[in-house]
Amino acid sequence: EQALERLFTVKKRLRLKPVLVLLAGREQLGLLAAEIPDIAGPLMDRFWPGPLTLVFPARPELPALLTGGTASVGVRQSPHPLATGLVRAFGSPLTATSANRSGEAAAVTGGEVRRLFGTEVDLVLDGGATPGRAGSTLIAVTRQGVRRIREGCIPFREIERLVNTT
């Protein structure tokens, strides 16, 4: 929780806003999700690693700071080899946010991150410029089906098409 507190402070982010968690693979999902409905499998098969964030009911022991008090947790497997390698090396899921102050444009290079945050962050891993594109698509996954939270890189109609054919 100390790391989450620092994240919120550095980003000047509201503590009621949930924080995304990156996974090395679906084998880590059970550490975070209280329930993994069957429909999640085809979604992960088709869109992971990639820009799809799946929101599940959170395990009760997860900190409210992580879930924003929603009792849900958003997870994604990044297609970026540095991000996935870091999560694998760490051995458990890691929080991930855009590199910005809340409400501002995200930094896209390591140099921009260093200029923006200076000594407020201990380390900047520079994996090259991030692609400037829409954010991930956020989908709530429950036993009742899926619900669009935010449309991003993946159009919701693609999600619906997959869900309706499985």
pLDDT digits (tens, 9 = 90+) for 127-147: 888 876 678 999 999 999 999
pLDDT tops 90 at residue 124: yes
pLDDT score at 145: 92
pLDDT score at 130: 84
pTM: 0.92
User: Which pLDDT tens digit goes with each residue over 16-61?
Assistant: 999 999 999 999 999 999 999 999 999 999 999 999 999 999 999 9
Name 71's Cβ contacts closer than 8 Å, sequence gap at least 6: 57, 58
- Domain extent at residue 31: 2-164
pLDDT tops 80 at residue 72: yes
Angle formed by the axes of helices 40-47 and 156-164, nearest 10°: 130
pLDDT score at 131: 74
Looking at every residue in the chain, the average pLDDT score rounds to 94
Residue-wise burial string across 36-58, b where 16 or more C-beta atoms lie within 10 A, e elsewhere: bbebbeebbeebbbbbbbbbbbb
Dump the DSSP string for 48-59.
Answer: -SSSEEEEEEBP
Domain count, the chain: 1
pLDDT score at 134: 74
pLDDT score at 162: 95
What is the percentage of the chain residues whose pLDDT exceeds 90? 82
Query: Is the distance from CB of 55 to CB of 72 less than 8 angstroms?
Result: yes
What is the percentage of the chain residues whose pLDDT exceeds 70? 99
pLDDT score at 133: 66
Residues 52 and 61: their CA atoms lie apart, in Å, by: 24
Name 7's Cβ contacts closer than 8 Å, sequence gap at least 6: 13, 19, 95, 97
- The CATH number linked to 25 is 3.90.870.10
In single-letter form, the type of residue at position 53 comes to T
